[in-house]
Amino acid sequence: MRHRMLKNKIGTYGSHTRSLLKNQMRELVEHKSIVTTITKAKVVQRAFEKIMTKAVKASKLEKKDSVSLRRQIDYYLSDRRLTNKLVDEIAKPLEKTSGFTRIVRIGKRRGDAAEMVLLQIVEKQ
């Protein structure tokens, strides 16, 4: 029984799960929305909220003071360009501390009837 188990299972081995998580977060930063299954979206949302909180903190500091936070974000995104885009463009106008993403259900996938969702970054307050 899965009592008190809060994580969603994706059904892959560890390195593949980490790789999938990084790729989904990179696409989310680059395009500001992705279409995926609901289980993957919930896992990505949980991880992305954490790095988005760091990005908002880094955007309030000067560039030389936010180096540590930018490196922590870069660990997940593995691309300096995307890290700078997240901190300087996406997180700059935000004043809130949580609720950076939204999940919108869009229906079932035709092939296997998996529940598909649109995961997007909320840009307005």
Domain borders along the chain are 14-121
Q: Distance between CA 55 and CA 84 in Å, rounded?
A: 9
121 near 85, Cβ under 8 Å?
A: no
Inter-CA distances, 73 with 81, 88, 101, Å: 11, 13, 17
- How much of the chain exceeds pLDDT 90, in percent? 80
Q: What is the mean pLDDT of the chain?
A: 92
Tracing tokens 């299954």 back to the chain, one arrives at 37
Cα of 37 vs its chain's centroid, Å: 14
Kindly report the backbone phi and psi dihedral angles of residue 108, in degrees, each rounded to the nearest multiple of 5, phi listed first. Answer: -100, 145
pLDDT tens string 35-80: 999 999 999 999 999 999 999 999 999 989 999 999 999 999 999 9
> What superfamily would CATH give domain 14-121?
Ribosomal protein L17 (3.90.1030.10)
pTM of the model: 0.88
